[in-house]
Amino acid sequence: MTQTTIKNTESGGPETRRQATAARLLNSSTERGLESMALGVGAIAFVVAALVALIVFRFQSTPISGPGSIGEYAAVASGVAALLAVIAGRFVLHERGANKTRLRFLDYVDIAALAFAHGVIGVLGWTLLAVILEQSFLGAEVFALPVLVLGGASAALTAYIAFYSATHMDLQLLAVVLAVFLVLGVVASMMTASDPDWWKDNLSALGMSSNASSWAFNITIIVAGVLVTTLARYATRSESAADAPGRRKVRILLVIVGIFLACVGIFHVDDFFAIHNTVATGMVVAYAVLVAMLPRWIPGMPRAFYAVGWVFLAVTVVLGILFGIGYYTLTAVELVAGILIFSWIVLFIRNTAALELDARKA
């Protein structure tokens, strides 16, 4: 039916042919259409960011990084572009679906968390690149015209990648977004901490003050918790009724991990010591139950993955014992345990995706 319509329009005038071409290119049901839309989003971001840069910098030279620099502007512009591009991409993907349903409250929460994560990745990524370039070109300034080009190009590239990510989001890509977002957020908080000796206390000390560093840490942890609950809901879906009860139990525990992680950022250790430590310990307990019960709840996964879970859990327990006898600091234990738990979650997502793919092929 589509081919007949296109053939009929070819015999029409130039305006009709242009409309048909535009309809094909902007058709979100095809990969070519999505690619065209991603390029269009990038082009709009370039124009808007360049024009705003012209107003902000008044066509003058500027430093590479620091306050009032092109690096700072590129980071902010890219963050805004990424946030808006993800929102646009997710709604385009929703309209593309064959069985369109009304978006629920949790769907809007997922979109907001995903957009915010991409925005933060854009801000921190370009900020880090600007700092590195500043150290490579000491004392250098960016001339007026390159300022406009770089400001627009950074926003355009970020918007393009963010739109593509939003329209091609799957479990494995979402796991990567979570990992990159969490690492960049925590590292940025470490680098901007007002107390250089924060690491002598614990990792949660990054969220104790009221400056930008603590806000970065707490917001990163809260949004990461929301993303974990999103992963939990999608990773435990199954078309097979055989392991559905087990997957529901896994989903509940993963959602608990996500909620507790968000509570770590909500309840600061200096103001809510008991609650903070309770939810932090609860995450480890939920992870331990997952490792112990996963072979029974989802028996089809590789044995190597089950073994990795036990190894990670054993390392976490040993680190806790070493902290108890005063050999390790709490910060070291929290960092290693956090890395292991989130690595296990990423591996779990990849293995469940592979298990689901094999089930569909069978």
* Average pLDDT of span 318-330: 81
For 49-99, write each residue's pLDDT tens digit: 999 999 999 889 899 888 888 989 999 999 999 999 999 998 887 766 555
Rounded mean pLDDT, 254-264: 88
Q: For the chain, what percent of residues have pLDDT higher than 70?
A: 85
Enter the pTM of the model. Answer: 0.74
Q: What is the pLDDT of residue 240?
A: 55
Please give the mean pLDDT across all residues of the chain.
81
Q: What is residue 8's predicted lDDT score, i.e. its pLDDT?
A: 44
Mean pLDDT of 229-238: 76
Is residue 140 pLDDT above 90, yes or no? no
Instruction: Assess whether pLDDT exceeds 80 at residue 356.
Output: no
- Mean pLDDT calculated for residue range 34-57: 92
Amino acid 43: pLDDT = 94
For residue 107, what pLDDT is reported? 77
Question: Is the per-residue pLDDT at 263 higher than 80?
Answer: yes
Assign 162 a pLDDT band (cuts: 50, 70, 90). very high
Give the model's confidence band at 169: pLDDT under 50 very low, under 70 low, under 90 confident, else very high. Answer: confident
Using 50, 70 and 90 to split pLDDT, how confident is the model at 111? Answer: confident
* In the predicted structure, residue 20 carries a pLDDT above the cut 60: no
Please write the tens of the pLDDT for every residue from 279-320: 888 888 999 999 999 888 888 788 899 999 999 999 988 888
Give the pLDDT mean for 104-116: 82
pLDDT at 55: 93
What is the structure's pLDDT at 212?
64
Residue 198 CA neighbour count, 13 Å, CB half = 21
If one counts every other C-beta atom within 10 angstroms of the C-beta of residue 135, the result is 10
246 vs 26 pLDDT, higher one? 246
Q: What is the reported pLDDT for 4?
A: 41
Name which residue leads in pLDDT, 76 or 323: 76
Pairwise CA distance, residues 122 & 157, whole Å = 10
pLDDT reading at 254 higher than 60: yes
pLDDT of residue 218: 81
* 5/207: higher pLDDT: 207
